[in-house]
């Protein structure tokens, strides 16, 4: 054998584990290095614990909603330590699942940091190991703004392990992690202020989603300060955050949800000849090959679509290309996304402005309503739904929603979009009554 392994994967997160397992199932000799935790960001400090927290937070609304239905609940009390302990137990279980999955596929796991030496060599714990192919799947890492006192703020990584729940919190940012955590903290009873430099939340999504979500979050009690940014944090008993307009906010915690960067620094990639983008992302072609043909990269480290299912799909394509039939591809069209804020956001396809930006003549269908459930609860929560339709072809280009279970609802519509469904076909589909989702097949009046 010319090399120690056929494939050496650096990073056992979503993409790395999937690629390694698939490669091994194709008969390749595979090793995977993981310096921190099996399962990567999603399992340990991302999707899974975040969604568990979101469930915990939503009980706040659920308890209030019971009254209108005749239930009386004693004053509910929340215990942060119990949530953390139960969450940690589940994450440990999942770490074990990942370990078993890799071992049963005969992938060798090395619990160490690995770096790249050259096109076919990695260095790990003082050892050099060779491989025919090297896969970089090292993910991303939160970035704090450079400002005085930034070290006093915490990122999503630490948010999952806070010793105590702060009484008052400032969350900085307007992306999905910021709105999810602002909703989580507020739901768990924390006095929450969201500070965002932009005019509306979720700037990379359809404009009306961010606007509507902001209104809903404020109605629920989250304070949102738009067009202001944080310039410093100081400790003066509690924490004092100073904003760009000179105002200050007192709190017991500051969460900096101010972006993520590809985790490619210090991996030895430049020395091995792998080209990196200006922001440090590993540059790859459509087959995930870097500028060094034996080195591939997938997932967040390539800074393309930062989602677990995308990293999984990319991992399968690489394994199949290197060791299988090479028939698999990934389509980046119509990738559905959910944001587990309160209320949820679900979206697939083009936003109205993206569609117009492509020169398409579109009609837009919208609906805002109170869900049947809340006719008895007295909740002010409203639902927003929007369809973007190509006037020329009648094809539905975008399906967008803010409201309960938006993620669950949008998943099915993403299949319809991938099949090229037209508005006529939406209209011809019988709704399920009474649901919120039926609104998507009963919107008749074009708003634009």
Ligand X SMILES: Cc1cc2nc3c(=O)[nH]c(=O)nc-3n(C[C@H](O)[C@H](O)[C@H](O)COP(=O)(O)OP(=O)(O)OC[C@H]3O[C@@H](n4cnc5c(N)ncnc54)[C@H](O)[C@@H]3O)c2cc1C
Note whether 50 binds ligand X by CB under 6 A.
Answer: yes
Q: Give catalytic residue positions.
A: 433
Distance of closest approach, residue 444 Cβ to ligand X, in angstroms: 33
Report CA dihedral (13, 14, 17, 23) to the nearest 10 degrees: -140
The answer to whether the beta carbons of residues 175 and 197 sit under 8 Å apart is: no
Site for ligand X in 173-212 (CB under 6 A): 177
Longest CA span, the chain? 73
Closer of 11 and 403 to ligand X (Cβ): 11
How far is residue 92's CA from residue 38's CA, in Å, rounded to a whole number? 9
DSSP string, 75-119: -----HHHHHHHHHHHHHHHHHHHHHHHHHTTPEEE-S-EEEEET
Positive/negative CA dihedral, 94, 99, 104, 106: positive
Compute how many residues bind ligand X; rule: CB under 6 A: 36
Q: Give the x/- contact pattern for ligand X in 142-161, rule: CB under 6 A.
A: --------------x-----
Distance of closest approach, residue 434 Cβ to ligand X, in angstroms: 28
Give the residue, chosen from 9, 20, 139, 410, that forms a contact with ligand X under the rule CB under 6 A: 139
Note whether 12 binds ligand X by CB under 6 A.
Answer: yes
Residue 135 to residues 15, 16, 18, 228, 377, Cα–Cα distance (Å) = 10, 8, 12, 41, 52
Closer of 172 and 311 to ligand X (Cβ): 311
DSSP string, 235-289: EESEEEEEETTS-EEEESEEEE---EEES-TTSSTTTTT--B-TTSPBP--TTSB
User: Which stretch in 72-80, 94-102, 214-222, 298-306 sits in contact with ligand X by CB under 6 A?
Assistant: 298-306
Site for ligand X in 304-363 (CB under 6 A): 306-309, 311
How far is residue 182's CA from residue 178's CA, in Å, rounded to a whole number? 6
Note whether 259 binds ligand X by CB under 6 A.
Answer: no
User: Which stretch in 137-145, 225-233, 274-282, 349-357 sits in contact with ligand X by CB under 6 A?
Assistant: 137-145
Q: Give the x/- contact pattern for ligand X in 19-48, rule: CB under 6 A.
A: --------------xxxxx--xxx---xx-
Closer of 38 and 364 to ligand X (Cβ): 38
**Which residue of the chain is nearest ligand X when measured via CB?**
13
User: Which residue's entry shows tokens 């590993």?
Assistant: 282
What residues line the site for ligand X (CB under 6 A)? Answer: 10-16, 33-37, 40-42, 46-47, 50, 113-114, 137-140, 156, 177, 263, 267, 299-301, 306-309, 311
């Amino acid at each position: 054998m010319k090399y120690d392994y056929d494939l050496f994967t650096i990073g056992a997160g979503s993409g790395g584990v999937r690629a390694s397992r698939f490669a091994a199932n194709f008969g390749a000799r595979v090793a995977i290095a993981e310096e921190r935790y099996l399962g990567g960001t999603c399992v340990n400090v991302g999707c899974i614990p975040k969604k568990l927290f979101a469930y915990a937070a939503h009980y706040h609304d659920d308890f209030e909603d019971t009254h209108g239905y005749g239930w009386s609940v004693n004053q509910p009390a929340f215990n942060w330590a119990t949530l953390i302990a139960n969450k940690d137990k589940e994450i440990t279980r999942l770490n074990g699942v990942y370990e078993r999955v890799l071992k049963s596929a005969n992938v060798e796991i090395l619990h160490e940091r690995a770096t790249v030496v050259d096109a076919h060599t990695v260095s790990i714990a003082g050892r050099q190991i060779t491989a025919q192919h090297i896969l970089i799947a090292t993910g991303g890492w939160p970035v704090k703004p450079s400002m005085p006192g930034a070290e006093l703020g915490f990122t999503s990584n630490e948010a999952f392990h806070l010793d105590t729940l702060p009484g008052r919190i400032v969350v900085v940012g307007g992306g999905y992690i910021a709105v999810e955590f602002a909703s989580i903290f507020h739901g768990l009873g924390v006095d929450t202020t969201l500070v965002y430099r932009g005019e509306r939340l979720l700037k990379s999504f359809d404009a009306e989603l961010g606007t509507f979500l902001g209104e809903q979050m404020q109605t629920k009690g989250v304070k949102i300060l738009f067009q202001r940014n944080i310039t410093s944090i100081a400790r003066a008993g509690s924490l004092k955050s100073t904003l760009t307009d000179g105002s200050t906010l007192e709190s017991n915690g500051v969460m900096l949800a101010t972006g993520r960067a590809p985790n490619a620094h210090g991996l030895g990639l430049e020395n091995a000849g792998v080209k990196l983008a200006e922001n440090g992302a590993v540059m790859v072609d459509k087959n995930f090959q870097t500028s060094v043909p034996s080195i591939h990269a997938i997932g967040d480290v390539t800074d393309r679509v930062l989602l677990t299912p995308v990293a999984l799909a990319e991992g399968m394509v690489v394994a199949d290309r290197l060791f299988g039939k090479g028939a698999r591809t990934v389509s980046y069209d119509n990738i559905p996304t959910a944001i587990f804020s309160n209320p949820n956001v679900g979206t697939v396809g083009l936003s109205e402005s993206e569609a117009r930006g492509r020169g398409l003549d579109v009609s837009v269908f919208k609906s805002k309503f109170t869900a049947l459930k809340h006719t008895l609860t007295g909740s002010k929560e409203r639902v927003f739904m929007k369809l973007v339709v190509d006037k020329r072809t009648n094809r539905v280009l975008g399906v967008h929603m803010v409201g309960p279970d938006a993620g669950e609802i949008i998943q099915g519509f993403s299949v319809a979009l991938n099949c090229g469904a037209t508005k006529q076909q939406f209209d011809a589909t019988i709704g399920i009554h009474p649901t919120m989702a039926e609104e998507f097949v009963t919107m008749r009046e074009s708003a634009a």
